[in-house]
Structure 1
Amino acid sequence: MGLNPDVTALLDEFKAIRHQIHKNPEIGLETVETLALVKSKLDDYGISYENIGVNSLVAKIDGREGDTTVAFRVDMDALEMSEENGFAYKSQVEGRMHACGHDGHCTSLLALAAYLSKNRDFNGTVLLLFQSGEEGYEGALRVIEDSFFDKYKVDYLFGYHAWPGLASGKIAVHKGACMASEDRFEIMVTGKSGHASMPHVCNEPFAAVADIIKGLQTIVGRKIPSHERGVVSITQVHGGSLRNGIPDNVMVQGNVRTCNESVQDLIEESIAQTVAGAAAIYGVKAELDYVRKHPVLVNSVPEIAIKAAQKAVGAENVVTDMESSMAAEDYAFYMKHTKGCYVWIGNGVDSPPLHNSKFDFNDEILAVAASFFIEVIEELL
């Protein structure tokens, strides 16, 4: 029990790899150099791999006899924001930084690869999935569309995220929903333009928009059961160009988060009803474009992750009562095709939040994550 000694012995080596990736952040699906680094390390370890999706990769390690396949997935892409840290390995690319820890996620899977290259005494197959484009670029969908689940028989898939606010050395496992769905909507309200001094000859879209916004803000409080969670946020309103002119069109955009698919359905239906009602009252045309960006991330086998985490960090460091997050994660798409569990590993109580210009992945997680993955393999294979 405890962190794997073979992994901890290599911690300094993998810190250096993580720092190299951190200095050279790549955005979205364009993780070309990061993927090249991953390939060079896998070559060193004698592990075979193939490209999948867009600048993503699957490595395969066969053990002894046995037909169970366990996969592990990490992301590799950074964010379009400037880093405000002062350490030596800060981003060397202006306007880009690893503010979500994907540099560390990627490195921890390389640590697992290094371990498995010398320890293949398991029954079955292990897959290592290095994925691009998690930050809104549909990287997971590109992998799935490239026949990932047809090319490989994936019985289980596990992943994790470094988590600010959770103490270093702790692992959080959710029973059921771990992270929220993300939906996006755009409402185009069309009226009749004219002079601001003569609204009686116009058909003002802003009046309908005001009621729509007010109505949307009541959905969670009045329609969603109090024991459920949901968020409806208005994020953009655009319309008009004159101080003395009523415009033809006003556009409203927003974001929806839930941790329950039935709540997701109810919110979408309620938004449509609100928009249609305001359009009818004010005699304007209102078109709703509602897009489901990510599904709810639901853990189907938390008991396996709990056992593995207890072996890796001790039962006292495994947390099972944290609230699910309203952030979304495209790992959720994989859970529509196989069983698995996504855990959080503590980045430190005082860690800056994710997507913050001061965020940095805690290097100590590298050994925690790789040890957790090793214990998952022990449990299943």
Structure 2
Amino acid sequence: MALNADVIALLDEFKDIRHKIHQHPEVGLETAQTVVLIKSKLDEYGISYENIGVNSLVAEIKGKAGDTTVAFRVDMDGLEMSEENDFSYKSQVEGRMHACGHDGHCTSLIALAAYLSKHRDFNGTVLLLFQSGEEGYEGALRVIEDSFFDKYKVDYMFGFHAWPGLASGKIAVHNGACMASEDRFEIMVTGKSGHASMPHVCNEPFAAVADIIKGLQTIVGRKVPSHERGVVSITQVHGGSLRNGIPDNVMVQGNVRTCNEDVQDLIEESIAQTVAGACAIYGVKGVLDYVRKHPVLINSTPDVARKAAEKVVGPENVVTDLESSMAAEDFAFFMKHTKGCYVWIGNGVDSPPLHNSKFDFNDEILPVAASFFIAVIDELL
């Protein structure tokens, strides 16, 4: 591997930074203390920055002549779950931990900042975006709504995720879809309540709900083309409070994932048809609330990422045939506004999965991520 020597020389320092962030996880948009730490490092490196979005931060580093701007984005937020690791830097905040590697993502960009503070021999501008609220809190949207793409002419944007199950020293680059869309739905079925012994004077909503749930389970198998991927999951059903009473209302919630926007449209339409059909049969009212939470993350410049990855880990360690993930990533919102690519960097074959109480970012891939970013700059600037 051709890891950057400047990053390797400061690896112990970067590990210490990562461990500090890991010990003090912040959730959602409330990443104020993490931002304070990042600002202290940027001040040390002599790099200017400004606040953006909600507790997010963007730093700007200008090179020599040239008007191309490349942005690198990382996330900072942890999760509301208790850590079961027992190493010295485990979370000190009860019920919160960095179970998705954002502490390492963040530190990798700090490492890039340290490198660029001494190496500005590129043509153009580099932006370093430290983003809050990736874990379902619309942090990317808050950055975009705060005029990010109006303040900065972003020609390319890149990001990465530490990836369990992929060997450390390997980088996965997807052509096209990398991460799935995420849609959320709620169905409220309303009938007529009454005594359980006299269903004939009621209009029981559970019968329609049973058919709706059964119908939703057939959408992917019967309507989605066999060469496409989709997931429809029922996650909650609530209704009634009495053993001997038929309720007025039953609520169903669920989640939809796909890697194709046409399939996304098909599934939403099919859910609406299923609800309407079942409710018509049983004479109850059904209201569907369908929300598109994240779009599909589409890589538009995989060749740039692949060439950069090959420089760092060698062509034999660049993986291009992995299936896209059915997990969602709000980096997808940025890809609606500019070109770019999101890659996976192996966290280790034996790494616990993401969002697991024993997950930990692999410190040894910090220089892989930072070196990948540097190689992207070499490719484009």
**Match in the other structure for 1:306:** 306
The superposition leaves residues 170-221 of structure 1 with CA deviations (integer Å, 9 ceiling, x where unpaired) of: 0000000000000000000000000111100000000000000000000000
**Match in the other structure for 1:157:** 157
Give the AA of the match of 1:181.
Answer: S
**Match in the other structure for 1:246:** 246
Matched residues in 1 for 2:5 and 2:281: separation? 69
Give the AA of the match of 1:136.
Answer: G
Matched residues in 1 for 2:180 and 2:84: separation? 29
The superposition leaves residues 305-362 of structure 1 with CA deviations (integer Å, 9 ceiling, x where unpaired) of: 0000000111111000000000000000000000000000000000000000000000
Matched residues in 1 for 2:239 and 2:230: separation? 28
**Match in the other structure for 1:346:** 346
Q: Aligned runs of 1:185-200 on 2, under 5 Å?
A: 185-200=185-200
**Match in the other structure for 1:315:** 315
Q: Alignment partner of 1:214: what SS?
A: helix
1:22 aligns with 2:17: no
1:37 aligns with 2:37: yes
Give the AA of the match of 1:302.
Answer: P
Alpha-carbon deviation of 1:273? 0.2
Q: Aligned runs of 1:118-133 on 2, under 5 Å?
A: 118-133=118-133
Give the AA of the match of 1:82.
Answer: S
Matched residues in 2 for 1:31 and 1:188: separation? 35
Q: Alignment partner of 2:347: what SS?
A: strand
**Match in the other structure for 2:96:** 96
Matched residues in 2 for 1:200 and 1:350: separation? 58
Matched residues in 2 for 1:192 and 1:45: separation? 67
Matched residues in 2 for 1:312 and 1:244: separation? 67
Give the AA of the match of 1:322.
Answer: L
Give the AA of the match of 1:67.
Answer: D
**Match in the other structure for 2:289:** 289
Q: Aligned runs of 1:54-203 on 2, under 5 Å?
A: 54-203=54-203
Give the AA of the match of 2:357.
Answer: S
Computed over aligned residues only, the root mean square deviation of the Cα atoms, in angstroms, reads: 0.4
**Match in the other structure for 1:259:** 259
Alpha-carbon deviation of 1:285? 0.4
Matched residues in 1 for 2:107 and 2:212: separation? 46
Matched residues in 2 for 1:314 and 1:4: separation? 14
Q: Alignment partner of 1:98: what SS?
A: coil
**Match in the other structure for 2:277:** 277
Give the AA of the match of 2:334.
Answer: Y
Matched residues in 1 for 2:187 and 2:35: separation? 39
Alpha-carbon deviation of 1:52? 0.2
Q: Alignment partner of 1:159: what SS?
A: strand
Give the AA of the match of 2:36.
Answer: A
Matched residues in 2 for 1:374 and 1:313: separation? 13
**Match in the other structure for 1:10:** 10
Give aligned-pair identity as a percent.
88
Give the AA of the match of 2:176.
Answer: G
Q: Alignment partner of 2:96: what SS?
A: coil
Give the AA of the match of 2:238.
Answer: H
**Match in the other structure for 1:329:** 329
Q: How many residues align?
A: 381
Matched residues in 1 for 2:255 and 2:282: separation? 24
Matched residues in 1 for 2:216 and 2:11: separation? 50
Q: Which runs of 4+ in 1 moved over 3 A?
A: none
Matched residues in 1 for 2:173 and 2:15: separation? 25
Q: Alignment partner of 2:264: what SS?
A: helix
Matched residues in 1 for 2:314 and 2:8: separation? 16
Alpha-carbon deviation of 1:365? 1.3
1:206 aligns with 2:200: no
Matched residues in 1 for 2:349 and 2:225: separation? 32
**Match in the other structure for 1:375:** 375
The superposition leaves residues 352-377 of structure 1 with CA deviations (integer Å, 9 ceiling, x where unpaired) of: 00000000000011100000000000
Q: Alignment partner of 1:217: what SS?
A: helix
Matched residues in 2 for 1:363 and 1:73: separation? 19
Alpha-carbon deviation of 1:164? 0.1
The superposition leaves residues 101-147 of structure 1 with CA deviations (integer Å, 9 ceiling, x where unpaired) of: 00000000000000000000000000000000000000000000000
| TM norm structure 1 | 1.00
Q: Alignment partner of 2:335: what SS?
A: helix
Matched residues in 1 for 2:142 and 2:365: separation? 28
Matched residues in 1 for 2:58 and 2:29: separation? 15
